[in-house]
């Protein structure tokens, strides 16, 4: 991949950071975008230490001009774009009756509009290289849980965007991969409903089900290499997606009858 160029939004931490390093180890030039310039700088240092060329492109995915400017910056620096990954996102949590209109707008602007505009901005360049576009959703793209209504809505929408784009670019040489992780180590649990990061905030997601970001990055890159249309991963993630698609009544029954205790911490606004 020594001649390939990769651009990743939400590339400063979590899966985005690990995917950036996975591509760098293969010799790719990797640009990372996000709001936290200090984190982007750290990733660029790690990319270069891994043998790749790195570029930090600060960008807020709620600002269309910044997204399109980021693509232009990447192409100006490296001459092309072969892989774009719309990975930026966060979680608004809490029961729907407690969420404000501002909560909903913030959630959808980042996770949905941000992903769609990222794809729109990258596609002209990807058409030139017959490249690969990835959009990161979640197992929540297939199954809802209490306290995660806004987040689940956004991830259902990301899946719709990915499926629609795959149809729209068919025959162009560009592939679109919807990526749907289960629980993976990240900072998402430490970001509040306003998008503010808190270093000391507890991550209440189940530790025993958590994948390391390096393992997640490996399978995500492999899925995009193979130009898969949809890729669900972690064992519990595959099970959840399967049940959500084929047995929604069973999922509803189990959660409403037996899951109240387990989901209560998330319903109180701590879900990531």
φ and ψ at 32, to 5 degrees?
-120, 135
Residue 60 has what DSSP assignment? -
Rounded distance between C-alpha atoms, residue 255 and residue 260, angstroms: 7
Helical H segments across 94-230, by residue range: 101-108, 114-129, 149-168, 213-225
Helix 235-246 crosses helix 248-258 at what angle (to 10 degrees)? 110
Instruction: Give dist(CA 147, CA 154) in Å, integer.
Output: 14
> How many Cα atoms sit within 13 Å of 50 on the Cβ side?
24
Distance from C-alpha of 39 to C-alpha of 56, rounded to nearest angstrom: 9
Which residues have C-beta within 8 Å of that of residue 263, sequence separation ≥ 6?
145, 146, 147, 255
* Active site annotation includes 151: yes
Q: Which of 23, 151, 180, 266 is catalytic?
A: 151
Kindly report each contact of residues 221-227 with a partner whose C-beta sits within 8 Å and lies 24 or more positions away, as own/partner: 221/19, 221/22, 221/23, 223/134, 223/177, 223/179, 224/83, 224/85, 224/132, 224/134, 224/175, 224/177, 224/179, 225/132, 227/132, 227/175, 227/177
| Catalytic residue list | 151
């Amino acid at each position: 991949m020594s001649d390939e160029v990769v651009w990743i939004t939400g590339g400063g931490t979590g899966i985005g950071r690990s995917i950036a390093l996975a591509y760098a180890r293969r010799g790719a030039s990797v640009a990372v975008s996000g709001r936290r310039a200090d984190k982007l700088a750290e990733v660029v240092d790690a990319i270069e230490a891994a043998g790749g060329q790195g570029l930090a492109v600060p960008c807020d995915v709620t600002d269309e001009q910044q997204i399109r400017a980021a693509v232009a910056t990447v192409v100006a620096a490296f001459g092309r774009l072969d892989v774009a990954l719309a990975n930026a996102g966060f979680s608004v949590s809490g029961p729907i009756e407690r969420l404000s209109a501002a909560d909903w707008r913030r959630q959808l602007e980042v996770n949905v509009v941000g992903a769609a505009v990222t794809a729109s901005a990258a596609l002209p360049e990807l058409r030139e290289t017959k490249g690969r576009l990835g959009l990161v959703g979640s197992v929540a793209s297939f199954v809802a849980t209490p306290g995660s209504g806004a987040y689940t809505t956004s991830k259902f929408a990301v899946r719709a965007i990915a499926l629609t784009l795959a149809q729209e670019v068919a025959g162009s040489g560009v592939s679109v991969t919807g990526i749907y992780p289960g629980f993976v180590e990240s900072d998402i649990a430490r970001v509040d409903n306003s998008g503010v990061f808190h270093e000391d905030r507890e991550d209440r997601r189940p530790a025993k089900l958590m994948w390391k970001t390096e393992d997640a990055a490996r399978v995500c890159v492999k899925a995009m290499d193979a130009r898969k249309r949809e890729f669900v991963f972690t064992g519990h993630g595959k099970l959840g997606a399967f049940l959500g698609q084929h047995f929604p009544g069973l999922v509803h029954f189990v959660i409403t009858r037996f899951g109240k205790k387990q989901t209560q911490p998330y319903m109180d606004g701590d879900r990531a």
